C-alpha cells in the first residue's frame, strides 16, 4: 500500500468527532463514532483533548484514520500491521512492500542528477528518521564506514539517535566515491569547505534574522536557499574548470 502524507497545511486540531465522521462517511459509509473511538483506543490516532475532555482532531488525524480504514477495506490488513505501517510513515519511510518485509527508504531520496536549485533547499529531508542499522543498509556501507563518517564529521546523528535524509544522501555519495579509493578521511576538506560556505551565507542572512518579524524571517529563508544553490553551483563549476587541464580540455 502506498504511503500517504500524514500531515497537511493547517493541521491544527479543530474538528470534533462528529465532524470527522462527516468527513469520512462519503468514502467509508460503515464508519461510526464507536469505530473512531476504538481506533483511538488502539493507538492509531491520538486527538487532542480540550480542558473539558472533548476530542479535537487535526487534518493529520483525519488522514491517519483514512489510511487505516483504506488499509482495512482494500488490503484486509490487521491493526497491528497497519500500526507498523503508520510508524514507518511517521519516520518518513515507505511501509513494507510485502508481508514480513521491513519499511523502505523512499525511492525519491536518491542523489539527483544535475545541480540543485533553490527549490531543493526548501525540501526538508529531516523528516526521515533512520536507525543506525537502517542507514548503513540503505546507503550500502558497513558499520565501520559509518563510524568513520561520524568520526570525520560527515554524518551526524540527530537528537534521539536517528539519522535524516541528508545523512543518507551523504553516506550514499561517500560509498560511491569509495569505489575510487577515496575514504572518509580524504573528504574532510569537503566538510570544511561546506562549513565556510555556510558561514558566508550566515553573514548575509543574520541581519534579516535579527529583525524578528515574519516578513524578514521569510526573506531570510528565501535568501539562504538562493545563496545555498548559488554556492553549490559555483563550487561545481570551479571543480569542473580545475579538472579541465587534467582532462585535456
Of 41, 75, 90, which residue is a domain's last? 90
Q: d(Cα 150, Cα 154) in Å, to the nearest integer?
A: 6
Residue 94 pLDDT: 85
With bands split at pLDDT 50, 70 and 90, how would you rate the model's confidence at 81?
Answer: very high
- 126 domain residue, yes or no: yes
Q: Does 239 lie in the same domain as 128?
A: yes
The answer to whether the Cα torsion of 44, 49, 53, 57 is positive or negative is: negative
Q: d(Cα 135, Cα 169) in Å, to the nearest integer?
A: 10
Backbone angles phi, psi at 49, to 5 degrees: -120, 135
Residue 187 pLDDT: 92
Average pLDDT over residues 45-58: 93
Concatenating the DSSP letter of every residue in 224-244 gives HHHHHHHHHHHHHHHHHHHHT
Q: Does 231 lie in the same domain as 137?
A: yes
Is residue 162 pLDDT above 80, yes or no?
yes
pLDDT digits (tens, 9 = 90+) for 171-209: 999 999 999 999 999 999 999 999 999 999 999 999 998
Q: Does 83 lie in the same domain as 31?
A: yes
Q: Does 125 lie in the same domain as 32?
A: no
pLDDT digits (tens, 9 = 90+) for 96-133: 776 667 788 876 664 444 445 555 555 555 578 999 99
Q: Does 147 lie in the same domain as 82?
A: no
Q: What is the mean pLDDT of the chain?
A: 86
Query: What CATH number has the domain bearing residue 78?
Result: 1.10.1660.10
Average pLDDT over residues 82-98: 87
Residue 103 pLDDT: 80
- 5 domain residue, yes or no: no
Task: Show the domain range for 71.
Answer: 17-90
With bands split at pLDDT 50, 70 and 90, how would you rate the model's confidence at 212?
Answer: confident
Q: Does 207 lie in the same domain as 147?
A: yes
Q: Does 202 lie in the same domain as 130?
A: yes
What's the residue count for the chain? 249
Q: What is the pTM of this model?
A: 0.69
How far does CA 107 lie from the centroid of its chain? 12
How far does CA 245 lie from the centroid of its chain? 40
Long-range contact set of residues 172-179: C-beta below 8 Å, sequence gap at least 24: 172/110, 172/111, 172/138, 172/139, 172/140, 173/111, 174/141, 174/145, 174/149, 175/139, 175/140, 175/141, 175/145, 176/111, 178/145
- 107 domain residue, yes or no: no
- 237 domain residue, yes or no: yes
Is residue 71 pLDDT above 90, yes or no?
yes
Amino acid at each position: 500500500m502506498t504511503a500517504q502524507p500524514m500531515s497537511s497545511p493547517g493541521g491544527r486540531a479543530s474538528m470534533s468527532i462528529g465532524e470527522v465522521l462527516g468527513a469520512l462517511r462519503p468514502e467509508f459509509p460503515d464508519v461510526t463514532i464507536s469505530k473512531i473511538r476504538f481506533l483511538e483506543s488502539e493507538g492509531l490516532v491520538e486527538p487532542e483533548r480540550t480542558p473539558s475532555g472533548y476530542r479535537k482532531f487535526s487534518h493529520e488525524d483525519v488522514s491517519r484514520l483514512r489510511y487505516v480504514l483504506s488499509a482495512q477495506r482494500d488490503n484486509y490488513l490487521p491493526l497491528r500491521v497497519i500500526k507498523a505501517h503508520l510508524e514507518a510513515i511517521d519516520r518518513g519511510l515507505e511501509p513494507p512492500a510485502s508481508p514480513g518485509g521491513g519499511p523502505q527508504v523512499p525511492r525519491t531520496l536518491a542523489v539527483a542528477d544535475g545541480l540543485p536549485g533553490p527549490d531543493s533547499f526548501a525540501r526538508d529531508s529531516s523528516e526521515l528518521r533512520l536507525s543506525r542499522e537502517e542507514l548503513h543498509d540503505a546507503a550500502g556501507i558497513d558499520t565501520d564506514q559509518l563510524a568513520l563518517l561520524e568520526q570525520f564529521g560527515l554524518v551526524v546523528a540527530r537528537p534521539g539517535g536517528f539519522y535524516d535524509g541528508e545523512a543518507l544522501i551523504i553516506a550514499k555519495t561517500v560509498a560511491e566515491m569509495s569505489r575510487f579509493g577515496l575514504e572518509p578521511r580524504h573528504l574532510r576538506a569537503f566538510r570544511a569547505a561546506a562549513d565556510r560556505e555556510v558561514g558566508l551565507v550566515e553573514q548575509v542572512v543574520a541581519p534579516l534574522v535579527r529583525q524578528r518579524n515574519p516578513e524578514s524571517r521569510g526573506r531570510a529563508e528565501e535568501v539562504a536557499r538562493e545563496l545555498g544553490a548559488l554556492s553549490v553551483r559555483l563550487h561545481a563549476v570551479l571543480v569542473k574548470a580545475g579538472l579541465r587541464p587534467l582532462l585535456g580540455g
